[in-house]
Structure 1
C-alpha cells in the first residue's frame, strides 16, 4: 500500500513538472507616456482565451499560457490598440508597454474598475504584501471609501467596526479616540503602515482624510512594527491621483450636526509629475448629553513629485483640532446599566472645555528597481496634545446623590517612526520566491498630568445636591478649582508614572515560496526586535531582544478558492509601571488559525471564514483599586489614580469568523459578517482569591456579533429613477461582558437598525440616513465599581456606562467637479 502511494506521489510530482515545462507565465506593467500607471487596461493574447486586466498599479499576470509564439494586444477605451510579439516557453515572459496617451484619456477606462464598490482585491502598498488577498494566509478585511460614503461615516469611531467580523468599539473617552477591539483584544491605530498609538491618542481619524481602512486579523508586527496578537487597523490616507477627483460635501443632522468638507485633487505641473491633494473639513456637533458639544477641524495637504516613472517622493501633513466640553459621555447608576437618561451630563456648563490636537508629518519614498523589485521608505512624526479638565464621581449614594471632583487632564505625546523595506521576486527552478525584508524603528515619549486637587466636591450654590436622576447645573466660580499650569507638562509629569519613553528597532525577512505554478504558497518569516523601556531608576529600565517567527501556508484549490493556515507570534514592549513602581513586562502573544477564501462571479464578491486561537501573556488591565486608598512606594496612603494598570497572567481567545463582501448582483452591494468569540483569563497571578480572575471572560468582549449592510443603486439610463438608491443595515451583539472581567454576560444586548435613501444625478449626489431607527437605548460599554466592605450610606458600589447615539438623521449633499 505504501509503495503504491509513493508511485502516485512521484507520478503527480513529475506530471506537475511536465505540465510546467509545457506552459509559462506572461506578466508586465503598463504605463502612459507621462509615466503614470495605467490601471484597468485590457491585455489579451491574440487568438486565444488568455488575458487579464491590469490592477491599480498597472500590473497584469497571465498564467498557464501554452508554449509558443504569440501576439499580445493592449487595448482600452480612448486608446489605439498596441501589439507586441512574444515567445512563451517554460518560465516567465515579461512584456511591458508604454502608451502614448496621457492618463486623462484613460478616465473612461477606470469606470470598469469601479464596479467593486465594497470589495478590494489587494491591500495598500503601506502593508507591503504583494500577493492578492485571496492568496494571503491571513484574514484581512478592507473598508473602502465607497463603504464610508454609503454609511455617511464622518470619522473612525462612527460605526466603521460594523463592517468587520468580531470587531467592536469600546473604551474611555471614546468620542475622541478609536478604542477598537477585534478577536476580543484591543488593537492599535496605524496610519499608512506606521504605529502611531499613544496612551490616549491619536485622535480619531476624520473621514475627510481616509481613503480606506484595513483591518489585519492576528499578529502583524513581523513586518510593520510591534503589535497586539489580535491585530491592527491601518488608516490609508488620501494621496494625489493625477486626476480631477475634486469634490465638496455639506452635511447636517440631528443633535446640531453641521459639517463641510472639500477634497481637491490635481496637478501642479503640466507634465503631471508634481501633484497635490488637499482635504479640509470642519464640523460642529452637539451631544445627547445636556450641554456637551464637540467642534473640530482637520487640514490635510499632500504633495507628490515623480522624478521618473520609477521614483516618487510624497510629503503629507495632517492636523486635527478638537474642542469638547467633556471628553467622556458617561452615565452612572447605583442600580444597573442604562438606569439614567441619556441626557445625563456629568460635567457642567461652568467648566472650561478640553482642547485636543495632533500634528502628523510623513515623508514617503518609493522606487521601482525593475518589474518586480521595489524599495520603500517612510518617516513620520506625530505630536499629540490634550489640555483640559475631567470631572469624575467622588461618591454615589443609593438615592443618586453624587459628589464630583475635577481632574486636570493634560498630555503630550511625541511619536517618531521610520520604516525601510524592499520587496521582489526571485525564481529558483520552478519555485518563485516572493521576498520581503526591512527595518522599522520607533521612539515614543509621553508626558501627562491627570492628578486631582484637594477638592472632593464641586458644590452647587445654596447647598443644592447634585443628583443623577434630577441633576442641577451651574457650579459657582468660587467652587471650581484652579489648576496650576505655571510649569510645563514635562516638568509636572517628571515625577509621576505618566512620563514614559519607549524605543525599538526591528528587522524582518519573509519568503513566500510559490510552488506548482504558484498554486501552493509557503510563507516563512522571522523578526528580531530590540526594545528599550526607559525608566527613572535602574529597576524600571527594561531592555528586550526577541525573535518572533511566522509560518503560513496557502493553497489555491481553484483559481478563486483558497485555503490557508497560519502560526504567528507578537511582541509588544510596554512602557510604564504599577502603582508600586514595578516595571511592566512586554506583552507576548501567539496565534494559530485556519481559513477559507472564495471569490464568486468573476471576483465580484468574496466569502472568507476563519477559526483561530490566540494566547496572550502579561496583559495590562486597569488596577481594581482605582479611586481607593493604597500604600504608595514612599509609604504614604493615597487614592490609586485613574490610568493605573496592573498585569494579568494569561488570556486565551478562541473564535470563528465569516465575512461576505461585494456585489451580489448588478447594483446590489452587501456586507455580511458573523463572529463567535470566546475570550477568557486562563491564568491570573493575583494571589487574592476574591480578586483572581482565572476563568472569567475578558472585559469588553462579546460572544456573538453579526452585522449586515445592503446598498442598492438603480442603473437604468433614460428611466426617471435612474441613480436612485436604498441602503440600510443592522448590528447585533449578544452575550456582552463589561469592562472588568465577568463570570457571566452582564451587559444588555446591542440591537440596532439603520436605513436610508440616496439619489445620484450627474455631478450631484444626495443621501439621507437614519441611524438607530428604532431609537433603542444602546450601550457601547460598561463597567462596575465594587466598593465591597468600604461601601457606606453615602457611598455605594455603582455602574458606569456609555450610551450610543439615540435616533438621529443625516443628510449629505456632494458635488463632484468632474
Structure 2
C-alpha cells in the first residue's frame, strides 16, 4: 500500500470512529449498575467528574506495585504500577470508600469525597500479612517472562497492548532462566526476527532485525558507535527492550529496522541482594554480586551495587576473554515528587583476539572450529568503557511529569588484529598484523515533558521534548602494519594444520608514541575519524477517544545534525522533519488492533572513494498488527506485518581498483526493501509453564542500484525464516521433595540465510540449535544448569566472501570467512538471595 493511500485510509477510519463517538453513549463503561441508573436520570451536560490518585507503600517505605484499588460498590478501579502509583479517572462526583488489597498485604479502606473537576489524593501504607507471604512469592512468579509496559526510558506512557508498534521485552527472569551472561549470549532468541551476526564478540553485539543492523541504546539514549559499545553484561541488565521499526522518533536518530534498549538495574528500595557463582565449558568461571538496599532509614536514599568478574576460554586454540564490571547506582527521593539518580558503569576486557574467524578457499565451515588465526605470543587486546549517567524525575502534578538525563561514555581499545594477506588453494596462509586502536566519546542529553489533557470526552496524552548528542570517534587500523608474521625457520602456516609460536624477534612492536587523534588522520583519506552532533525536537499527541478505546497518535520530529568533515566539501549539515502516525483500537479490553506509519533518519559520516560525502540514510515503515492478552494477562500474542523502504544504504565498494587503493571503500547502494510477518507469544500459558515462542518471515532485498546484477539480491546477514522457542516449567507443591524443581529447553532455527556480502548471492547453511536445562529452587537458593548446542552441531553465526577477482593468482585465491557458534557446552550456576 502506498503511503498516500495509507494516510487516506487512516484519516477515513479516524473520521468514522469520531463520528461514532459523537453519536454513541457517553456513560463510562466501568460504572456500577446502581451508579449507571443514577446517572441516567441526570442530563449529560450536568454530569460532573473528578479523579482519585495516590501512592501505595508497605510499612517499611517500599513501593507496593500491582495492588488492587477499587471504589467500593462500583466498578471503578485500578492497579498500582511499578512505582506503587494508581489513578482512577472520570469518577462521578460523590462520596466513596476506597479499598486497597493484595495477596500478602492486609487490606485497608479510606473514605473520600470526590468533587466536580477535582483530583483527590489518597495514599496508603500497608502491613505485610506473614501468613500469605508464600502465596505472594508464588504470585510474583506469574509474570516471569511477560511485561505489560516498557520502561520509563522509552517514554511511552500507555500499556504495551495499546502502543501502535511491535515492542518485545526480554525480562531479567528470562535472562536468568537461560543463564545469559551478556548481550551476545543468545538474547535475540527471545524476539521474532532478531539475529546476532558474529564479529568481535569480545567487544560488542551485532544485532540485525527487519533486514537492517540495529543500534544499541542504553536507558533510552543512543550508544551506537562504529565499533561499540562494549557488550552489556547481565550483571547490569534489568531488561532488554526491542523496538521494531523506526526506533522511537522521540529518542534519537536511528535505523528503520529498530533498536534494542538496555535498561540497567536501579535501586528498588527492597532487599533484592544476591550473589552467584558460575562455571562451565571452555574454562568459564564467573562470580557476580548484586547489592540492593537503603542508605537511610526513611528509604529516601537508596543504593545498588553490581560487581562481576568473568574468565572464559574459547573453542579457538589459545583464545580467551577476561573481564570485570563495576556498576554503582545511588538515588535520592528529594520529596514525594522529585527523584535524582546517579549511575556509573565501567567494564574492562582483555581478549587474546577480538574475533574467532575461520577461513577457507573452498567454502563455509571447511576448517575445524579450533582454528585460530592469531598466536599466543602476540599481546592481548585491552578494551574498556566508562559510562556516567545522571537522571532527574519530577512530577509537576497528578497528570504531568518532566524527566531529564545526561550521559557520558568513553570507550577505548588497544591491541592488534591479525588477518590473512593471502590464502593458497591448499590452505597455506600468510598473515599480517595491523595496529588496532579505537577511542570514542559519546555525550547525550535529554529532556522530556509528558502528561494528559482532557477536552470533553477526549484525552490528549502529550509527549514533547528535546534530545542532543555528540559522538566523536578515532580509529587506527593501518598506520602501523607487520606485513608477515613469520614462524620459526620460515615454516608455513596452514589453515588445515596450523603451527603456533612466533619467535620473539618476529613479533612486531607498535609505535604508539603519537596519539590516536593524530594517527587516525594518517593517511588523509582514512575515514576513521568522525564528529557528529545532532539536536532533535519532537512532539507527540496520543488522542484517546471512545472511552480511550480508540487512540490516534500524531507526531513529528525535527532534527538538525552536523557531520564535521575534513574539508568544506565533506562537512554536512542536515535539517530533517520526520512524521509519525499511528492508530490503535481496543476491540476488547485485552485485544487491540493497530497500524503505524513512521520514518527514520540517520546521518552518515565519511565519504566515498572519490571524496564525495555520503547522504543521510532515510527509512519509511508501514506496519499493521494485532495484540492479545490471554487469561487475565498471563500471556500475550502479537502478530505484525510490515514493509520498510531504506534509501542511501552503505555497503562495500566492489570496484577492484578501489579495493586495491582502499580496502575500506564504501558506496551507497541506493535502496533496500524489507517486508515480513512476525509472531510473538510470551508468558505463562498454563500454570507454572512459561513460554517464549516466535516466528518471523523476512524478505529483505536490494530494490534499486546502479549495478543491475545487485537488484533483487537479498541483503547481507538476513534470514528468510526464523523461529525460536523456550519453555520453562517449575514444579510447585509444598511439602514435596520436588517442590522447586525446574525444567527448561529451547530451540533456534534459521532457514534461507544470506551471507554478509553482495558480491555474490551466497547462502549460509541452515541453523538448528537445541538447548536444555534443569534447576532447583528452594528458599533463598537456586541451582541451575544449562547445556547449549545440545547436538554439538557446527553452526555459523556469520559468513562472507572475499572476491579477489583479477587479483587472484595461482598462490592467492578468493576465500570464505566465517564464525562458528560455540560447540556444545554446559553451564552451572549457584545463586543465593539475601531475601
Superposition RMSD on alpha carbons, in Å? 2.3
Distance 1:231 1:448 in 2: 26
Any conservation in 2 of the 1:723–1:759 contact (CA below 8 Å)? yes
Alpha-carbon deviation of 1:25? 8.2
Which of 123, 144, 147 does residue 98 from structure 1 map onto?
123
- Residue 252 of structure 1 aligns to a residue whose secondary structure is strand
Any conservation in 2 of the 1:27–1:59 contact (CA below 8 Å)? no
User: What are the Cα deviations for residues 405-433 of structure 1, in whole angstroms up to 9, with x where unaligned?
Assistant: 00111010000000000000000111000
User: What are the Cα deviations for residues 227-283 of structure 1, in whole angstroms up to 9, with x where unaligned?
Assistant: 111100000000001111100000000000000000000111111111100000000
User: What are the Cα deviations for residues 648-688 of structure 1, in whole angstroms up to 9, with x where unaligned?
Assistant: 101010000000000011110000000000000111135xx
Matches within 5 A, 1:56-455: 56-61=82-87, 69-76=95-102, 77-79=104-106, 81-87=108-114, 94-100=119-125, 111=137, 112-451=139-478, 453=480, 455=482
- Structure 1 counterpart of 2:662: 640
User: What are the Cα deviations for residues 788-812 of structure 1, in whole angstroms up to 9, with x where unaligned?
Assistant: 2221111111100000000000000
Distance 1:765 1:232 in 2: 33
Work out the number of aligned pairs and report it.
Answer: 798
Any conservation in 2 of the 1:735–1:745 contact (CA below 8 Å)? no
Alpha-carbon deviation of 1:52? 3.3
- Residues 454 and 196 of structure 1: CA distance in aligned 2, closer, same or farther (over 3 Å): closer
Any conservation in 2 of the 1:154–1:207 contact (CA below 8 Å)? yes
User: What are the Cα deviations for residues 559-598 of structure 1, in whole angstroms up to 9, with x where unaligned?
Assistant: 0000000000001111122233221111111100000000
Alpha-carbon deviation of 1:744? 4.9
Q: TM-score, normalised by structure 1?
A: 0.94
User: What are the Cα deviations for residues 48-77 of structure 1, in whole angstroms up to 9, with x where unaligned?
Assistant: 454332121223355787886532212344
- Structure 2 counterpart of 1:782: 799
> Is 2:771 the partner of 1:754?
yes
Any conservation in 2 of the 1:579–1:645 contact (CA below 8 Å)? yes
Distance 2:743 2:21 in 1: 52
706-715 or 488-497, which deviates more: 488-497
Any conservation in 2 of the 1:451–1:641 contact (CA below 8 Å)? no
- Residues 93 and 165 of structure 1: CA distance in aligned 2, closer, same or farther (over 3 Å): farther
> Is 2:520 the partner of 1:520?
no
- Residue 562 of structure 1 aligns to a residue whose secondary structure is strand
Alpha-carbon deviation of 1:93? 6.8
Alpha-carbon deviation of 1:299? 0.3
- Residue 118 of structure 1 aligns to a residue whose secondary structure is coil
- Residues 108 and 196 of structure 1: CA distance in aligned 2, closer, same or farther (over 3 Å): farther
- Structure 1 counterpart of 2:684: 663
- Residue 115 of structure 1 aligns to a residue whose secondary structure is coil
- Structure 2 counterpart of 1:650: 671
- Structure 2 counterpart of 1:635: none
711-720 or 25-34, which deviates more: 25-34
- Residues 55 and 9 of structure 1: CA distance in aligned 2, closer, same or farther (over 3 Å): closer
- Structure 2 counterpart of 1:505: 535
Alpha-carbon deviation of 1:725? 0.4
Any conservation in 2 of the 1:36–1:309 contact (CA below 8 Å)? no
- Structure 1 counterpart of 2:750: 733
Distance 2:214 2:639 in 1: 20
Distance 2:757 2:716 in 1: 5
Which of 696, 699, 711 does residue 728 from structure 2 map onto?
711
- Structure 2 counterpart of 1:672: 693
Any conservation in 2 of the 1:36–1:103 contact (CA below 8 Å)? no
- Residues 653 and 99 of structure 1: CA distance in aligned 2, closer, same or farther (over 3 Å): same
User: What are the Cα deviations for residues 266-303 of structure 1, in whole angstroms up to 9, with x where unaligned?
Assistant: 11111111110000000000000000000000000000
Any conservation in 1 of the 2:558–2:576 contact (CA below 8 Å)? yes
Alpha-carbon deviation of 1:622? 2.8
Any conservation in 1 of the 2:674–2:698 contact (CA below 8 Å)? yes
- Residues 86 and 544 of structure 1: CA distance in aligned 2, closer, same or farther (over 3 Å): same
Distance 1:555 1:241 in 2: 34
Alpha-carbon deviation of 1:40? 1.9
> Is 2:509 the partner of 1:482?
yes
Any conservation in 2 of the 1:72–1:86 contact (CA below 8 Å)? no
- Residues 74 and 353 of structure 1: CA distance in aligned 2, closer, same or farther (over 3 Å): same
User: What are the Cα deviations for residues 537-571 of structure 1, in whole angstroms up to 9, with x where unaligned?
Assistant: 00000000000000000000000000000000001
Alpha-carbon deviation of 1:759? 0.2
Distance 1:568 1:287 in 2: 42
> Is 2:579 the partner of 1:549?
yes
- Structure 1 counterpart of 2:65: 39
Distance 2:652 2:435 in 1: 19
- Residue 767 of structure 1 aligns to a residue whose secondary structure is strand
Distance 2:776 2:88 in 1: 39
- Residue 81 of structure 1 aligns to a residue whose secondary structure is strand
- Residues 177 and 214 of structure 1: CA distance in aligned 2, closer, same or farther (over 3 Å): same
- Structure 1 counterpart of 2:33: none
- Residues 775 and 10 of structure 1: CA distance in aligned 2, closer, same or farther (over 3 Å): closer
Matches within 5 A, 1:589-668: 589-624=619-654, 630=658, 639-642=661-664, 644-668=665-689
Which of 30, 55, 60 does residue 55 from structure 2 map onto?
30
Distance 1:253 1:603 in 2: 37
Any conservation in 1 of the 2:634–2:685 contact (CA below 8 Å)? yes
- Structure 2 counterpart of 1:685: 706
- Structure 1 counterpart of 2:820: 803
- Structure 2 counterpart of 1:634: none
- Residue 397 of structure 2 aligns to a residue whose secondary structure is coil
Alpha-carbon deviation of 1:174? 3.1
Any conservation in 1 of the 2:105–2:128 contact (CA below 8 Å)? no
Alpha-carbon deviation of 1:88? 8.6
Alpha-carbon deviation of 1:110? 6.5
Distance 1:122 1:323 in 2: 37
Any conservation in 2 of the 1:40–1:113 contact (CA below 8 Å)? no
Any conservation in 2 of the 1:73–1:84 contact (CA below 8 Å)? no
- Residue 259 of structure 1 aligns to a residue whose secondary structure is strand
- Residue 295 of structure 1 aligns to a residue whose secondary structure is strand
- Residue 659 of structure 1 aligns to a residue whose secondary structure is strand
- Residue 126 of structure 1 aligns to a residue whose secondary structure is helix
Any conservation in 2 of the 1:424–1:434 contact (CA below 8 Å)? yes
Any conservation in 2 of the 1:25–1:61 contact (CA below 8 Å)? no
Alpha-carbon deviation of 1:19? 5.8
- Structure 1 counterpart of 2:9: none
Instruction: Note the residue ranges of structure 2 that are not aligned, 5 or more in a row.
Output: 1-14, 30-38, 41-46
Alpha-carbon deviation of 1:375? 0.4
> Is 2:780 the partner of 1:763?
yes
Any conservation in 1 of the 2:223–2:229 contact (CA below 8 Å)? yes
Which of 77, 82, 92 does residue 51 from structure 1 map onto?
77
- Residue 161 of structure 2 aligns to a residue whose secondary structure is helix
Distance 2:114 2:307 in 1: 52
- Residue 366 of structure 2 aligns to a residue whose secondary structure is coil
Distance 1:38 1:162 in 2: 32
- Residues 79 and 104 of structure 1: CA distance in aligned 2, closer, same or farther (over 3 Å): closer
- Residue 385 of structure 1 aligns to a residue whose secondary structure is strand
- Residue 25 of structure 2 aligns to a residue whose secondary structure is helix
